[in-house]
Structure 1
Amino acid sequence: MAASRPRPRLRRVALAGGAALVAVLLAACTASGQPQPTMAAGASPGISASASVPLETSQTSTKSPVYWLGRARNGVYLYREFRDAPGSDNAVAKALRLMMSAKPLDPNLFSPWQSPKKLAASISGTNVITVDVSSDAFNSSVDEQTAQLAVQQLVYTASAAAASAGVIDSDQPVQVMLLVDGRTDQLAFNRVQLGQLMQRDPAMVAPMWIIDPQAGTSSPHGQLTADGRTTTPGSVVYWQISRADIKTDKAPVVTSGHTTSVPSGQNQGQYRFSVALPPGKYVLRVFPSDPGAGDPTALAWDSKDFTVTR
């Protein structure tokens, strides 16, 4: 985490007007006793509630962090990509517009959100991010669990973008209020009751994911440096690299190994390793335990296709 900083003054940043409206609504929500932060229901089984999901830092990337939904192992979880975010909107609005309008780089990921006509974001000095979005953003028919994940997708993306841009105090809890057309009493996707401050639910994020390489990218000169994140700092991460351009029922593993994620400090949960590879197309998979001779696609928490060039 970043070094402790004085609590920032009130900041408001907004899209397409609406900043005053958001500020008034936020004041109305907090003036007579601030609502207690809540975590979305419907958490996937088998994930410890004490798992660590550290906030992104302002040194993480110059690109916008965006979370998506992805199926892996025994359920659907949140995964993160870093994306170019053109335009003059503030950092939170940029990331949320990407989340609601763009497609993930990884074809295995998806988002139930629709591109909204209106979107505004504001940040207060008490680390509260308020997002006001038009109702057309919810024009998807989803089940209860997917709706819960989608709301957390917004919470994760908004807080990640604010932390990465350095506009919140990363040493303090971050809370998100989601409004629909300026109202607090709406249902997201006709499933999830809004109107309460929300925090990141650690049960919703994938316990292990790959940050680099991103799907479809190229690694030059035969050298791959991979890094990622696990929500259990100090845990062992097993990895395998297979050829993606060999058309067989089960592509052979080119190389494999394991590493330990950083147990504590600013980079807690991060893992990194490097390997030399000849030119070709590959897939990298990461696992919580040694996959051995089993089917890697059934055990991997995350996978990414990439190319090594000459």
Structure 2
Amino acid sequence: MGRARAFVLAGVLTAVPILAGCVAEPGPSPTGTLMTGPATTGSPEPPSTSAPLETTQSSNKAPVYWIGRSSNNVFLYREFRDVPEQENPVTRALRAMMSDKPLDPDFFTPWQNPGKLATSISGKDVITVDVSEDAFNSNLDADMAARAVQQLVYTATAAAASSGLIDSGQQIRVRILVDGHTDYMAFGQVQLGALMTRTAGLVAPVWIIDPQEGSEVADGSVKITGRSTSAGGKLRWQILRTADNGAKAPFLTGETTASSEQGQAGVFTLALTLPAGDYELRVAQAGSDGGPDQFEDNRSFKVR
């Protein structure tokens, strides 16, 4: 698979509500400077749709979006993470996005661990995020900076919707403040200030949801779930088994179709019987007219 860095967006904000969020303790910032090139390099155009807003779930895990690359395009991918419960769900998810490392080594985040972070929700559809300036201490080009801002928008809206704090049946908007002020230039590239919504076309066209990277599942029946932005589209999948010497060999292959049913559009599921071992799952959109498969996602997991 191999995903890396680059991106797309625009936005601006107004009005400054009072924040009822939590203030973070300063922590170490990730090291390194990110320099990026164009988001695409002559690869097939991804679908222009966006993933449906998350629905309320009973799990305490926080939905966090990361940046990754597939087929020479850069997309947003989501993981569910265990997070401390002392803050509200939106703040918890954003703090993880800015200070944790993704489980999948193919993902990354350009955000830095902020000295201050607070969030609030006003009305039925507006999330306000107030973050300190040190969160933007990465050197990004315009495309990547835009993607990073959308990474925050996707994570904030996902956390609010999945925790039931906001109605997922309507469009949720996000206002980003920096040290309480509007009109900040995020990463020196994207002007903040106006209400923002999820930009279509940024989520990965193929996306494995479960199992998560590095997870362990019980011996026997293994349930695999994922999402494609092509509802009703054909997907090809492959399971590789890892030998003791680290070599990977094909173990199972097959095809499946993403659901076209309302409410489940794009979802795909597989139920496989796997003996104990280390595996890698690969899923891609089937190429049309005999062309190569596209937008592959992969995931390593263990069966014990």
TM-score normalised per structure 2: 0.82
Letter of the 1:210 partner, please give it.
Answer: I
Q: Determine what percentage of the aligned residue pairs are the same residue.
A: 49
Could you tell me which of 70, 81, 87 is aligned with 1:89? 87
**SS of residue in 2 equivalent to 1:281:** strand
Could you tell me which of 232, 255, 271 is aligned with 1:234? 232
Q: Deviations over 1:258-282 (max 9, x none)?
A: 2222213333221111111121111
Q: CA deviation at 1:238?
A: 1.6
**Match of residue 220 from structure 1:** 218
**Match of residue 296 from structure 2:** 301
**SS of residue in 1 equivalent to 2:219:** helix
CA contact (8 A) 1:12 1:124 kept: no
**Match of residue 257 from structure 1:** 254
Runs of 4+ residues over 4 Å off in structure 1 = 10-13, 42-45, 246-249, 293-296
CA contact (8 A) 1:71 1:77 kept: yes
Unaligned runs of 5+ in 2: 1-16, 25-37
Rounded Cα–Cα distance in structure 1 between residues aligned with 2:105 and 2:212:
11
**Match of residue 14 from structure 1:** 21
**Match of residue 55 from structure 1:** 53
Rounded Cα–Cα distance in structure 2 between residues aligned with 1:242 and 1:81:
22
Letter of the 1:275 partner, please give it.
Answer: L
CA contact (8 A) 2:210 2:224 kept: yes
CA contact (8 A) 1:245 1:282 kept: no
**Match of residue 187 from structure 2:** 189
Letter of the 1:93 partner, please give it.
Answer: T
**Match of residue 268 from structure 1:** 265
**In the comparison of the two structures, how many residue pairs are matched?**
271
**SS of residue in 1 equivalent to 2:97:** helix
Rounded Cα–Cα distance in structure 2 between residues aligned with 1:237 and 1:279:
25
The root-mean-square deviation of aligned C-alpha atoms, in Å, is 2.6
Rounded Cα–Cα distance in structure 1 between residues aligned with 2:246 and 2:101:
29
Rounded Cα–Cα distance in structure 2 between residues aligned with 1:11 and 1:57:
27
Q: CA deviation at 1:201?
A: 1.1
**SS of residue in 2 equivalent to 1:109:** coil
**Match of residue 70 from structure 1:** 68
**SS of residue in 2 equivalent to 1:48:** coil
CA contact (8 A) 2:241 2:278 kept: yes
Rounded Cα–Cα distance in structure 2 between residues aligned with 1:259 and 1:160:
27
Q: Deviations over 1:33-83 (max 9, x none)?
A: xxxxxxxxx87671233x142000003743110000011112211000000
Q: CA deviation at 1:247?
A: 4.9
Letter of the 1:302 partner, please give it.
Answer: D
Residues 11 and 171 of structure 1, relative CA distance in 2, 3 Å threshold: farther
**SS of residue in 1 equivalent to 2:213:** coil
Q: Deviations over 1:138-174 (max 9, x none)?
A: 0111222211111010000000000000111111111
Letter of the 2:303 partner, please give it.
Answer: V
Rounded Cα–Cα distance in structure 2 between residues aligned with 1:264 and 1:183:
44
Q: Does 1:279 align with 2:276?
A: yes
Unaligned runs of 5+ in 1: 1-9, 18-41
CA contact (8 A) 1:43 1:204 kept: no
**Correspondence 1:89-238 to 2 at 5 A:** 89-238=87-236
TM-score normalised per structure 1: 0.81
Rounded Cα–Cα distance in structure 2 between residues aligned with 1:230 and 1:11:
39
Q: Deviations over 1:210-264 (max 9, x none)?
A: 1101000111113221001112222222211112336577x33110112222213
